[in-house]
Amino acid sequence: MCGRFSLTVDEFFILIERFGIKGSPDIEYRPSYNIAPSQPVLIIRKRAGDLQAAYVKWGLIPAWVKDLQKAPRIINARSETVGEKPSFRSAFRRRRCLIPADGFYEWKKEGQKKIPFRFHLPQDQLFAFAGIWEKWQGAEGEVIETSSILTAEASPDVAPVHERMPLILKTEQEKMWLAEEAEEKDLKELIAAFKPPRLEMYRVSQAVNSPRNNSPQLLEKKDTLF
């Protein structure tokens, strides 16, 4: 599972250079230390041959939903079944995206408490989750774009805290994930070959438990429990 993450680079041009983004002049980028479900998330998708950035809501609403009030908001999609599940199948084939991040949070149960930990690459390098996005349109023309993060079995670095983890793409896999001409079998092979990167982790404040808290202090290390 992935229920919180961070994207804290100061300037949008850093993302432009890292991911090759073009044609996104209207983006009002803002760093976030505690991105939570239902909040806007920055995604990168391919349109008209260019990589474009956009903010969409985190929590995918399937396009076929009729009643928005009863619609699920699905924050994660299991990579093993994303190509078969009705909620994700169309997005997996036609609307894949990158979701930039520099860390994510998971919680370990210790007695009655849940202790939050932050996972990140060495030197807090930027990376991208494999994501999918969807466009829901209501009968009166209302349009909502949403997204979901793919997950996989946890790596040895993450398993002591949680059994699942977000699917982090290698840099050389990002282009294929976004390729409009990519064959479904090739995408499934990419997922099956997933090898998680080496991750570092440390304990953080329980202030991250509330999505109302969003400040650099959330990244500070606390005494680890193991």
Domain-embedded: residue 197: yes
Alpha-carbon gap, residue 22 to 51, rounded angstroms: 6
pLDDT of residue 158: 96
Domain-embedded: residue 224: no
Instruction: CATH number of the domain at 14, please.
Output: 3.90.1680.10
Domain-embedded: residue 226: no
pLDDT of residue 48: 82
The domain tally of the chain equals: 1
Task: Clarify whether 106 is annotated catalytic.
Answer: yes
Of 132, 70, 124, 71, give the one whose Cα is nearest residue 98.
Answer: 132
* % of the chain with per-residue pLDDT over 70: 98
pLDDT of residue 226: 45
Alpha-carbon gap, residue 19 to 16, rounded angstroms: 6
Range of the domain at 150: 4-219
Task: Yes or no: say if 37 and 73 are a contact pair by the CB < 8 Å rule.
Answer: yes
Q: Determine which one of 17, 28, 84, 106 is catalytic.
A: 106
Domain-embedded: residue 225: no
Name residues of the chain where pLDDT drops below 70: 25, 224-226
Domain-embedded: residue 213: yes
Task: Clarify whether 181 is annotated catalytic.
Answer: no
For 130-182, write each residue's pLDDT tens digit. 999 999 988 788 899 999 999 999 999 999 999 999 999 999 999 999 998 99
Rg of the chain (C-alpha set) = 17
Domain-embedded: residue 78: yes
